[in-house]
């Protein structure tokens, strides 16, 4: 069994909490950079000076979108004694890894299976969400849980790769977000707001309508799936590409998504290039849905954890394992998260989820 995912707790205005984040997570931020600096070169053909140039372009866009997040990233860089561009590059890593239409089967992407269960489907009437995050095996050692109490807005609890401002999480206003890699023929390397920055904006919001508006209105550089939910009682999935957004809704209180576009409008309008990389996506969402559907009305945190340990199709299963013959770009479940959004609690387990226990983290 490996050690629990470390918790980093920060508070205060953006500069103060950014510095604390950088200082407290400095070792793991270095691990993130050790993973991505060579990956940008190998996968996207981007040497470090080019990465820095693109990071500055992304930072300029981010400054227009949210000047505060740029201040926070500057402070993370100071606290971790890293270059500002390095922190921006981490927060733009999906966009950079697939820059300029690098979409070969060699440049595998993060797979994921995510789930939301509305109050009507759960035993205690709480909103539950969860996700297995499948990505490069070394990322297991760069992941942290970040608990943040900003001077303005709700408190935030999020599982991230160290140095990144948001991935999977919940906030003190009863709003949660999980999400999945998607890829389409619209992902050709363009400027826009990176996914991590959009996710963070979602968790600064007190109302679902504002968070949905953030996803819909923000210029996007890359396709992504965002599952947004707020207690009491609503969850909406937005399958997004740079040009479009396609909504999906829970079926009898349960919503599950993996790595292919499910909206029929999306399937007609764009070419899904992600499902070619992840054919197993076509059954992963079904596996989790069919594990939970018979328990509708009595679903618990433990049920979500068990559903995320499913091994159908192993190693390309919901609990994703490294195949015996390791190939370049091999991915596995590096972390699993289940959240009780109503109670402000998050449970995280390092992968493989079937071999490790979940640890509990709280918002306050």
For Zn ion, the binding residues (CB under 5 A) are 319, 352, 354
Rounded Cα–Cα distance for residues 29 and 161 (Å): 8
Report yes or no: 280 and 146 within 8 Å, Cβ to Cβ.
no
Q: What's the token pair of residue 186?
A: 């619209």
As measured in angstroms, the least distance from the Cβ of 352 to Zn ion is: 4
Q: CA 316, 184, 195 angle in degrees (round to 5)?
A: 85
Closest CA to 29 of 91, 96, 80, 92: 80
160 bridge partner residues: 144
Q: What angle do CA 117, 122, 124 make, to 5 degrees?
A: 135
Q: Would you say 336 or 342 has its CB closer to Zn ion? A: 336
The gap between the terminal CA atoms of the chain, to the nearest Å, is 27
Give whichever of 193 and 319 is closer to Zn ion, judged by the CB atom.
319
Q: Which residues pair with 251 in a beta bridge?
A: 254
Residue 8 or residue 319: which is nearer to Zn ion going by CB?
319
Cβ closest to Zn ion, residue 100 vs residue 326: 326
H or E element that contains 268: helix 264-269
Least separation in angstroms between residue 315's CB and Zn ion is: 8
Nearer to Zn ion, 132 or 240 (CB): 132
Shortest Å, Cβ 89 to Zn ion: 31
Q: How far is the CB of 319 from Zn ion (least distance, A)?
A: 3
Quick one: 220 or 321, whose CB is closer to Zn ion? 321
HSE-up (13 A, CA, CB side) for residue 191: 12
CB of 160 to Zn ion, least distance (A): 23
Minimum Å gap between C-beta 333 and Zn ion is 7
CB 16 within 8 A of CB 75: yes
With CA atoms as reference, report the closest residue to 155 among 11, 53, 291, 281.
Answer: 11
Whether the Cβ atoms of residue 132 and residue 353 lie closer than 8 Å to each other: yes
Neighbours of 317 (CB within 10 A): 21
Q: Give the pairing type, strands 224-230 and 234-240.
A: antiparallel
Provide the 3-class DSSP secondary structure of residue 243: coil
* C-beta closer to Zn ion: residue 97 or 319: 319
* Nearest distance, CB of residue 303 and Zn ion, angstroms: 17
Q: Which two tokens stand for residue 136?
A: 């490069």
- By beta-carbon proximity to Zn ion, the closer residue of 179 and 352 is 352
The distance of closest approach from Cβ of residue 351 to Zn ion in the complex, given in angstroms and rounded to an integer, is 8
């Amino acid at each position: 069994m490996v050690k629990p995912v470390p918790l980093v707790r920060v508070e205060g205005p953006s500069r103060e909490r950014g510095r604390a984040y950088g200082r407290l997570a400095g070792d793991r931020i270095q691990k993130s950079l050790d993973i991505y600096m060579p990956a940008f070169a190998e996968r996207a053909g981007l040497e470090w000076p080019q990465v820095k140039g693109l990071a500055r372009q992304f930072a300029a866009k981010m400054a227009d979108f949210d000047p505060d997040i740029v201040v926070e990233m500057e402070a993370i860089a100071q606290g971790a004694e890293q270059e500002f561009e390095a922190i921006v590059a981490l927060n733009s890593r999906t966009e950079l890894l697939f820059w300029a239409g690098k979409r070969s089967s060699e440049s595998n992407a993060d797979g994921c299976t995510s789930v939301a269960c509305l109050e009507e489907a759960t035993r205690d009437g709480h909103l539950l969400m969860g996700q297995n995050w499948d990505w490069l095996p070394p990322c297991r050692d760069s992941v942290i849980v970040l608990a943040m109490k900003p001077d303005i807005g709700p408190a935030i609890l999020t599982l991230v790769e160290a140095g990144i401002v948001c991935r999977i999480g919940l906030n003190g206003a009863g709003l949660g977000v999980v999400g999945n890699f998607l890829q389409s023929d619209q992902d050709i390397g363009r400027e826009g707001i990176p996914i991590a920055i959009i996710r963070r904006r979602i968790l600064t919001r007190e109302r679902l309508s504002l968070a949905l508006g953030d996803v819909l209105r923000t210029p996007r550089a890359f396709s992504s799936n965002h599952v947004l939910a707020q207690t009491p009682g609503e969850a909406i999935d937005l399958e997004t590409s740079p040009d479009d957004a396609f909504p999906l809704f829970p079926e009898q209180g349960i919503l599950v998504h993996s790595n292919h576009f499910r909206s029929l409008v999306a399937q007609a309008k764009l070419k899904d290039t992600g499902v070619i990389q992840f054919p197993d996506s076509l059954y992963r969402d079904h596996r989790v849905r069919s594990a939970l559907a018979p328990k509708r009305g009595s679903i618990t945190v433990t049920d979500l954890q068990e559903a995320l340990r499913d091994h159908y199709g192993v190693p390309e299963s919901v609990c994703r394992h490294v195949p015996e013959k390791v190939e370049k770009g091999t991915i596995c479940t590096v972390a699993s998260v289940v959240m009780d959004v109503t109670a402000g609690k998050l449970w995280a387990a390092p992968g493989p989820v079937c071999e490790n226990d979940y640890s509990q983290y709280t918002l306050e």
